[in-house]
């Protein structure tokens, strides 16, 4: 396997990536209205279904990674992608903290069984890049382990791509003020309190440690075969639509042909009567 080496073109791509990150994605647009968002999402959901049918029929293999700061909107984006497609085709992987046995293995080993096979779309809600981010910043791995991970990952991803997998890596970037607002919402909303952990609070205090770790991760692992795509997510609705649009544009699926379907007639009852059946019904307070 060829060793990962920066090239002049890659250096230019990296410069553009960092400039995009620092610019905040250009001039901010007004927050998208819910009605417009739902209209566009409905259209994109139809395209995701078309992509799903193409993946199933061709045996394509797609792997999508979502990384980013806490509260950047990874979970909501994944939900928007998957809510109208089949969980048998779109599989979400969100691994818990490694077990004692897994900590003794080669770092990437526990992720490999979750990579897609023919006809699969696998979405990682955080991925092997935990080592470059939270593990490194919070001291869950050594600097030597983190640097070793950054060194070998481009070659590992080259092997994944060479096996026929379409690999997409998204980094969701949220601004400091918006992150504060979202964390405060988690504190005060009983529907969201489960999202708030002690680690989130500690991570919040280390904004620039995460920024430095993110920047080094980009420099080391943004490759021609597995580039990083940065998404500014202060406006969650726009971010979700932009990600879905980019995902669709990155997969060479073909649109579904409309099928003319006529429902057949139902059979006649021929004496069937359910009135004698004794069953329990739930209460109906609504």
Confidence at residue 214, expressed as pLDDT on a 0 to 100 scale: 98
Give the CA distances from residue 64 to residues 13, 44, 213, in Å, rounded to whole numbers and listed in that order. Answer: 21, 17, 21
Confidence at residue 274, expressed as pLDDT on a 0 to 100 scale: 84
- Rounded CA separation 121/146 (Å): 28
Contact (Cβ atoms closer than 8 angstroms) between residue 171 and residue 213: no
Can you give the pTM of this predicted structure?
A: 0.87
Length of the chain counted residue by residue: 286
Q: How confident is the model at residue 203 (pLDDT cuts 50, 70, 90)?
A: confident
- For residue 278, pLDDT over 50 is answered with yes
Give the CA distances from residue 71 to residues 76, 126, 195, 198, in Å, rounded to whole numbers and listed in that order. Answer: 10, 13, 9, 14
Residue 1 or 27, more confident? 27
User: Mean per-residue pLDDT for 227-238?
Assistant: 97
User: Mean per-residue pLDDT for 196-210?
Assistant: 88
- For residue 11, pLDDT over 80 is answered with no
End-to-end CA distance of the chain: 62
B/e letters for 243-256, b = 16+ CB within 10 Å, e = fewer, are: bbeebeeebebeee
B/e letters for 16-46, b = 16+ CB within 10 Å, e = fewer, are: ebeeebeeebeeeeeebeeeebeebbeebbe
Confidence at residue 4, expressed as pLDDT on a 0 to 100 scale: 44
Please name each of the domains of the chain with its CATH number.
43-249 (3.40.50.300)
Confidence at residue 257, expressed as pLDDT on a 0 to 100 scale: 85
Q: Any residues with CB less than 8 A from the CB of 206 and at least 6 apart, and which? A: 137, 138
Task: Express as a percent the part of the chain with pLDDT over 70.
Answer: 91
Least confident of 36-40, 62-66, 83-87, 197-201: 197-201
Q: How confident is the model at residue 12 (pLDDT cuts 50, 70, 90)?
A: low
Averaged confidence pLDDT in the chain: 91
Question: For residue 75, what are its two tokens?
Answer: 């979970």
Residue 156 or 187, more confident? 156
pLDDT digits (tens, 9 = 90+) for 65-96: 999 999 999 999 999 999 999 999 999 999 99
Least confident of 184-188, 208-212, 250-254: 184-188
- For residue 189, pLDDT over 70 is answered with yes
Confidence at residue 15, expressed as pLDDT on a 0 to 100 scale: 57
pLDDT digits (tens, 9 = 90+) for 103-159: 999 999 999 999 999 999 999 999 999 999 999 999 999 999 999 999 999 999 999
Confidence at residue 3, expressed as pLDDT on a 0 to 100 scale: 42
Q: How confident is the model at residue 194 (pLDDT cuts 50, 70, 90)?
A: confident
Task: Express as a percent the part of the chain with pLDDT over 90.
Answer: 77
Q: How confident is the model at residue 2 (pLDDT cuts 50, 70, 90)?
A: very low
């Amino acid at each position: 396997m060829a060793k990962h080496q920066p090239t002049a073109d890659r250096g230019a791509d990296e410069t553009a990536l960092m400039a995009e990150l620092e610019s905040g994605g250009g001039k901010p647009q007004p927050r998208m209205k819910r009605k417009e968002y739902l209209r566009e999402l409905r259209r994109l959901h139809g395209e995701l279904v078309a992509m799903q049918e193409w993946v199933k029929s061709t045996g394509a293999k797609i792997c999508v990674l979502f990384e980013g700061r806490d509260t950047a909107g990874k979970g909501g984006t994944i939900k928007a992608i998957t809510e109208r497609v089949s969980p048998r085709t779109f599989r979400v992987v969100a691994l818990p903290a490694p077990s004692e046995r897994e900590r003794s293995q080669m770092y990437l080993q526990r992720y490999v069984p979750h990579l897609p096979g023919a006809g699969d779309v696998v979405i990682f809600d955080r991925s092997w890049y935990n080592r470059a981010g939270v593990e490194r910043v919070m001291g869950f791995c050594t600097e030597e382990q983190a640097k070793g991970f950054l060194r070998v990952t481009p070659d590992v991803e080259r092997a994944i791509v060479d096996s026929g997998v379409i690999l997409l890596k998204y980094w969701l970037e949220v601004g400091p003020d918006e992150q504060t607002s979202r964390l405060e919402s988690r504190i005060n909303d009983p529907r969201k309190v489960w999202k708030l952990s002690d680690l989130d609070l500690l991570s919040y205090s280390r904004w620039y440690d995460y920024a430095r770790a993110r920047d080094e991760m980009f420099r080391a692992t943004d490759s021609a075969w597995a580039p990083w795509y940065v998404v500014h997510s202060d406006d969650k609705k726009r971010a979700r639509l932009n990600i879905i649009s980019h995902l669709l544009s990155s997969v060479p699926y073909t649109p579904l042909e409309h099928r003319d379907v006529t429902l057949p007639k139902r059979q006649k009852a021929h004496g069937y009567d359910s009135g004698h059946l004794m069953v329990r019904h739930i209460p109906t307070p609504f």
